[in-house]
Structure 1
Amino acid sequence: MLTSYLATVLLIELTPGPNMAYLAALTLGAGRKAGLAALAGVALGLALIGVAAAAGLAALVAASPMIWNALRWAGGLYMLYLAWETWRGEAETSPAQTRAFDDSTLRYFSRGLITNILNPKAALFYVAIVPRFLPKQGATLADGLVMTGISVFVATAVHLAIVMLAAQMHPLLSQPGRMERTRHGLAIGLAGIAIWFLLATDLPTT
């Protein structure tokens, strides 16, 4: 059962989505430190959603079209906002701002956190997938928390691999004369993911 759950989580995490797209785009444009800070935020967001799901809150989200759509639109619009900032070249990527390591790190961390919390598909995962791997009878809060820990670990490992791979490409893409083209390309990619997110995350019907 545990092996099947690990395989399921891995396959789901390898499917492109908002977190993966944002981490890749951010790291390609701003470097490894920015990507790792956002990765920490994404991991915390996933853990919070898992704990909420274990407590029954995620089921309320999945059962309410109004809450689901509010999260879906908030998440999609937030990613469009990040795409716009990437396109125009945010001041925080300038040398003057990157010296303020603590401020920029917190900013990237919070954006990773928000991007994940506003992703209703994360809540759906805990509602639709995790219960299939829990004991048929007598499932406890501890069981749900163990499943949450496993999913956060696998997701973080996958996201870390993406960040490190993108970090290897960052020096090449950030060379003078390439930065603007890189930034615009990443912005278009983020906007595309945001639009896909809005169109492809309607609340499933039964």
Structure 2
Amino acid sequence: MTAAMAGFALFALMMTVVPGPDTLLVLRNCLRGGRRSGAATALGAAAGSLAWAVAAACGLAAALQRWDAAFTAVRLLGAGYLAVLGVQALWACRRSAAPGPGADAGPSGEVAPEAAATALRGFRQGLLSCLLNPKVGIFFVAVVPQFLPQGRSVLGATLLLGTVDAVIAAGWLLLIALGAGRLSTWLRRPRVHRGLEGATGGVLVALGLGTALETAAG
């Protein structure tokens, strides 16, 4: 079992470090709400991954994959959610490009974290982003069986490997949040803030539209 866990942990780490929607959300919320919001987003994404592991262990993810209508609906909801977050980021970028008399700025001209970008909101966004991505469930259904040791309970082993994956995801995303938090002063400079907000928003919209088009074409 130890060898199987080590092999799965290495594979999960390789998959986790590839930038995706969760990474973008962590960076975006660090930018808007500081390190605490980014860390909460990371924990929300990890919780979503663990929920998918439980679903896979119970057979729900496999059933979802077989039921085309439900799978398509979840993918489209996820695509729409990413697109909405991207549009919000682009709108925030547009607003900050022309600040009014009551704009939020620090004494040195830095953009202050938005009060609305709370840790709770960050956790919810990370959780929903992962839960609305059925590819995470398919990952567990397709990959985890390759690492299940013989003679072990499928339910228990899947839950254990799912926990390993969630811990790895949380650790990596928390490192990203920590790094972004340390650069928060520089990241909240008006020009840098607008550039990153616009870039993140554009990528999120592109991911949402790409997923929607891929689902429609399929």
TM-score range, shorter chain: 0.7 to 0.9
How big is each residue's C-alpha offset from its partner over 1:131-170, in whole Å with a ceiling of 9 and x where there is no partner?
Answer: 1111345533211211111111111111112222222333
Query: Which residue in 2 is equivalent to 1:85?
Result: 88
Q: Is the 8 A contact 2:86 2:204 kept in 1?
A: yes
Alignment of 1:1-206 (within 5 A): 1-89=4-92, 98=115, 104-137=118-151, 139-198=153-212
Q: Is the 8 A contact 2:61 2:137 kept in 1?
A: yes
Q: Is the 8 A contact 1:62 1:127 kept in 2?
A: no
| Deviant stretches of 4+, over 4 Å | 93-97, 199-204
SS in 1 for 2:81: helix
Give the Cα separation in 1 of the matches to 2:17 and 2:74: 23
Give the Cα separation in 1 of the matches to 2:217 and 2:179: 33
Pick the structure with greater CA Rg: 2
State the 1:114 CA deviation.
0.6
How big is each residue's C-alpha offset from its partner over 1:105-148, in whole Å with a ceiling of 9 and x where there is no partner?
Answer: 22221111111100111101110000111134553321121111
- Structure 1 residues 166 and 51, CA, compared in 2 at 3 Å: closer, same or farther? same
Amino acid at match of 2:120: L
How big is each residue's C-alpha offset from its partner over 1:164-194, in whole Å with a ceiling of 9 and x where there is no partner?
Answer: 2222333212124543333222211222333
Amino acid at match of 2:165: S
Aligned Cα RMSD in Å? 2.8
| Greater CA drift, 131-140 or 61-70 | 131-140
Give the Cα separation in 2 of the matches to 1:201 and 1:40: 28
Q: Which sections of structure 2, spanning at least 5 residues, go unmatched?
A: 96-102, 105-111
Amino acid at match of 2:69: M
- Structure 1 residues 96 and 13, CA, compared in 2 at 3 Å: closer, same or farther? closer
SS in 1 for 2:118: helix
Percent identity, aligned pairs only?
27
- Structure 1 residues 199 and 9, CA, compared in 2 at 3 Å: closer, same or farther? farther
- Structure 1 residues 202 and 40, CA, compared in 2 at 3 Å: closer, same or farther? farther
Q: Which sections of structure 1, spanning at least 5 residues, go unmatched?
A: none
Give the Cα separation in 2 of the matches to 1:202 and 1:2: 37
Q: Name the count of aligned residue pairs.
A: 200
SS in 2 for 1:15: coil
State the 1:97 CA deviation.
5.8
Q: Is the 8 A contact 1:28 1:173 kept in 2?
A: yes
Give the Cα separation in 1 of the matches to 2:67 and 2:213: 18
Amino acid at match of 1:130: V
